[in-house]
């Protein structure tokens, strides 16, 4: 999963759609396998400081862009506590924000952010 699956993402439509598929598929698996003690947890993070983010302005670890190690420790702590998590507390706040603002404002923020990442 990814925070990118929460709303349609201008300039990242295929990425957002693929992440939404992962969320829906994982939710179906969770239901289908619950009776055989298979627990499926969906992790939908924001940016993590990896090679994937090296082309962006978020290439350095920060409060909003944790290191892989910090993210792993945080997300592992959620196992058994939640069926769907952002895995990291700041990403949880970002998720809450993204799901409560109007779609038109989200689109403006998303396009502005993508433009900044390219610079």
Cβ neighbour number for residue 57 with a 10 Å cutoff: 12
Which burial class, exposed, middle or buried, applies to 98 when counting CB atoms under 10 A from its CB (0-12, 13-18, 19+)? middle
Measured CA to CA, the distance from residue 109 to residue 69 in angstroms comes to 28
Helix (H, G, I), strand (E, B) or coil at 84: strand
Among the listed residues 15, 24, 31, 33, the single catalytic one is 15
36 vs 15: CA distance, rounded Å: 32
DSSP 8-class letter at 78: T
15 is catalytic: yes
Q: What's the token pair of residue 42?
A: 């969906």
* Active site members: 15
């Amino acid at each position: 999963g990814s925070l990118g699956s929460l709303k349609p993402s201008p300039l990242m439509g295929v990425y957002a759609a693929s992440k939404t598929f992962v969320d829906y598929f994982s939710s179906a698996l969770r239901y289908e396998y619950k009776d055989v003690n298979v627990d499926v947890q969906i992790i939908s993070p924001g940016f993590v400081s990896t090679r994937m983010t090296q082309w962006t302005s978020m290439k350095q670890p920060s409060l909003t862009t944790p290191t892989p190690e910090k993210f792993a420790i945080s997300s592992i702590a959620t196992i058994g506590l939640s069926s769907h998590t952002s895995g990291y507390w700041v990403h949880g706040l970002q998720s809450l924000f993204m799901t409560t603002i109007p779609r038109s404002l989200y689109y403006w923020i998303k396009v502005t952010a993508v433009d900044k990442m390219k610079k």
